[in-house]
């Protein structure tokens, strides 16, 4: 009977993928904050190529108004020059690490105009990042507006 449990334990361990813990959380925290800031700059400058490097092909985005976008839609939206983001900044950023992954939460403030109509958005965001081939890439993002 003891061998049945040994075999069961061995088989169950084979089905669990190896997950590497985050070794230097301070360094990885700095990288993720820099990536979040690069994301803001890419949106200000309509830089689809920069966003292309930051998100995965299976990226899913839920915008503050409930709009759901995939990678192509998100990049097309960011490249749309009818929206002019003058400034975008993050505050209250927290990072929660998991083996090979991180969840980044924070507050954001964006100011600009879309199709000639001004906006001044204050909101919250949650981004899910994974380490893929040694690089952080975002797989999902969610934003919502907060009344100010």
pLDDT tens, N- to C-terminus, the chain (148 residues): 443 333 333 333 333 344 567 778 999 999 999 999 999 999 999 999 999 999 999 999 999 999 999 999 999 999 999 999 999 999 999 999 999 999 999 999 999 999 999 999 999 999 999 999 999 999 999 999 997 6
Containing domain of residue 66, as a range?
A: 21-145
The number of domains in the chain is 1
Measured distance CA(39)–CA(74) in Å, rounded: 12
Q: Is 111 inside any structural domain?
A: yes
* 145 strand-pairing partners: 123
Measured distance CA(83)–CA(116) in Å, rounded: 8
Closest CA to 29 of 118, 129, 122: 129
CATH number (domain holding residue 122): 3.10.450.50
Half-sphere exposure of 10 (CA within 13 A, CB side): 6
Measured distance CA(26)–CA(49) in Å, rounded: 28
């Amino acid at each position: 009977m003891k061998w049945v449990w040994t075999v069961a334990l061995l088989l169950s361990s084979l089905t669990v993928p190896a997950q590497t813990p985050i070794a230097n959380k301070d360094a990885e925290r700095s990288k993720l904050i820099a990536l979040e800031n690069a994301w803001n700059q890419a949106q200000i400058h309509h830089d689809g190529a920069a966003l292309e490097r930051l998100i995965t092909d299976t990226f899913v985005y839920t915008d503050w108004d409930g709009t759901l976008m995939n990678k192509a839609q998100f990049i097309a939206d960011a490249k749309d020059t009818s929206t002019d983001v003058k400034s975008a900044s993050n505050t209250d950023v927290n990072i929660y690490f998991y083996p090979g992954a991180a969840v980044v939460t924070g507050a954001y403030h964006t100011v600009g105009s879309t199709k000639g109509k001004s906006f001044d958005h204050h909101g919250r965001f949650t981004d899910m990042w994974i380490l893929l081939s040694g690089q952080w890439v975002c797989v999902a993002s969610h934003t919502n507006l907060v009344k100010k």
